[in-house]
């Protein structure tokens, strides 16, 4: 993609394809279910409206559900406002790949205009056409938020991500990428020494802490579901679903699986999370009220856990490993500080701050309202969990930083080493001069010349 016109129309088609794929992932299974169930009381538009509502919810649009009967249970009116992060990840991935392909163009802004314009038009169409008496998306947010999310990922990936490999060499760098990179380089250099010395290892270690915490949480959730497979099957049977209905329920739970991974990570911080107002799931104990019979809830721990407090060892160990592993990236930091304590604090505290801010952002994405009544509050408290992670990581990261960031030697030792070096040079120079003198005595055997008599007749004194 080189010319502006080519960039515009190519991105326009890619954005339309991204909408079709992300919506089709929902609409095709629901259409198959509608055909298989052969329920004369429902038309195909019900499948379309449900797909559109889920698509909008994956972009953060709240869906207002009126009072009705859901799965044979009378439910009051409520607001569905939670991101199914599994499906949101698909949408973000599509936008990211589009940005990588757009980055191969010489000019980026026509692609931005085309992509955001198509996505905004699709959002308007889906928001208005899916409106129904039983469920309706917020009209203003439904038109505004999806193109903002899609456009943000598209623009950032086209500016910063590695361009896609199109099999063409010597592609020109987009003018927008060059201008932004030069501007950021100037601003970054103007931030001071800490931006180049402290920030890189702190970002690496802090991000590594969050990644390890989420990875261990995902493994734990998988093991809990595996160990409680009997309870999972019992919950499936209690819902009396058809085979296709069970498959769709499983797919729906997979869409929320990343949310539950974040909740499990909240559990490891020691603070825990809530599945409903007034409930609490933490290492100190579980206090749950009535819950819907979703099979994924079989993974929730029950009662008091005698060794539950050991859960906080997970972020502690992650902080130690992450801080120790960035020693090679903290060479400049070890040079800037003369005191081991100041160097350790300058690395340990930023590592904890990075981890806490990233964990705060992830919790904000994962929590929300999943149903009526008590289910209006699902997830962990972002501020509390972030503060707990900061406290846990700050202490151990600072201790580990005594190894990763401690100066090689204080200034006093550096002076002594410098003096010793000067003395050694002098000691080497003295034997060299003595050897030269001895060489002259041995090889110069000619008799010394006798000075001539002076004009006055007196000989010079010897």
- Return the closest-CA partner of residue 14 out of 164, 231, 132: 164
Report pLDDT digits (tens) over 197-207: 788 889 999 99
Segments in the chain below pLDDT 70: 1-2, 38-40, 69-74, 167-169, 302-307, 331-338, 405-420, 422, 425-462
CA 361 to chain centre: 9
Confidence (pLDDT) at 71 = 57
Confidence (pLDDT) at 204 = 92
Contact 277, 377 (CB under 8 A): yes
**Packed helices 4-37 and 44-57: angle between N→C axes, nearest 10 degrees:** 130
Question: CA–CA separation, 145 vs 282, rounded Å?
Answer: 34
Confidence (pLDDT) at 299 = 85
Q: Return the DSSP state at 81.
A: B
Q: Is 91 exposed, middle or buried (0-12, 13-18, 19+ CB in 10 A)?
A: buried
Contact 146, 125 (CB under 8 A): no
Question: CA–CA separation, 138 vs 143, rounded Å?
Answer: 9
Tokens of 85: 């992060």
Confidence (pLDDT) at 338 = 53
């Amino acid at each position: 993609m080189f010319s502006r016109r080519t960039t515009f129309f190519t991105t326009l088609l890619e954005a339309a394809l991204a909408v079709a794929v992300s919506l089709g992932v929902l609409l095709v299974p629901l259409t198959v279910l509608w055909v298989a169930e052969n329920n004369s009381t429902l038309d195909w538009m019900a499948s379309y409206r449900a797909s559109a509502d889920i698509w909008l919810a994956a972009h953060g649009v709240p869906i207002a559900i009126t009072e009705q009967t859901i799965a044979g249970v009378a439910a009051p009116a409520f607001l569905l406002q939670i991101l199914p992060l599994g499906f949101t990840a698909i949408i973000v991935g599509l936008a990211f790949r589009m940005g990588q392909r757009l980055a191969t163009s010489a000019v980026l802004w026509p692609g931005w205009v085309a992509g955001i314009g198509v996505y905004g038009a699709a959002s308007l169409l889906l928001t208005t056409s899916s409106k129904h008496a039983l469920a309706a998306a917020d009209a203003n947010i439904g038109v505004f938020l999806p193109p903002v999310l899609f456009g943000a990922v598209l623009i950032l990936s086209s500016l910063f991500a590695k361009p896609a490999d199109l099999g063409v060499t010597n592609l020109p760098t987009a003018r927008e990428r060059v201008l932004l990179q030069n501007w950021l380089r100037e601003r970054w250099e103007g931030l001071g020494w800490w931006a180049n010395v402290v920030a890189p290892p702190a970002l690496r270690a802090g991000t590594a802490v969050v990644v390890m915490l989420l990875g261990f949480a995902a493994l734990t959730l998988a093991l809990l579901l595996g160990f409680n497979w009997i309870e999972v099957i019992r919950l499936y049977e209690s819902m009396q679903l058809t085979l296709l209905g069970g498959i769709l329920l499983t797919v729906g739970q997979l869409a929320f699986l990343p949310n539950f991974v974040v909740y499990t990570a909240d559990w490891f911080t020691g603070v825990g999370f809530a599945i409903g107002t007034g409930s609490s799931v933490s290492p100190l104990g579980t206090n749950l009220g009535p819950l819907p019979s979703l099979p994924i809830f079989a993974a929730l721990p029950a009662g008091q856990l005698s060794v539950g407090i050991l859960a906080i060892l997970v972020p502690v160990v992650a902080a130690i490993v992450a801080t120790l592993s960035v020693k090679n990236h903290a060479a400049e930091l070890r040079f800037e500080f003369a005191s081991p304590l100041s160097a350790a604090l300058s690395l340990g505290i930023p590592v904890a701050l990075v981890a806490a801010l990233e964990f705060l952002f992830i919790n904000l994405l994962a929590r929300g309202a999943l149903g009526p009544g008590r289910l209006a509050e699902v997830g962990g408290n972002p501020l509390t969990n972030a503060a707990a992670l900061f406290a846990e990581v700050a202490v151990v990261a600072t201790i580990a930083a005594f190894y990763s960031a401690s100066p090689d030697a204080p200034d006093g030792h550096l002076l002594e080493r410098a003096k010793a070096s000067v003395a050694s040079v002098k000691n080497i120079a003295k034997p060299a001069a003595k050897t030269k003198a001895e060489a002259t005595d041995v090889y110069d055997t000619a008799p010394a010349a006798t000075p001539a008599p002076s004009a006055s007749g007196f000989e010079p004194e010897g």
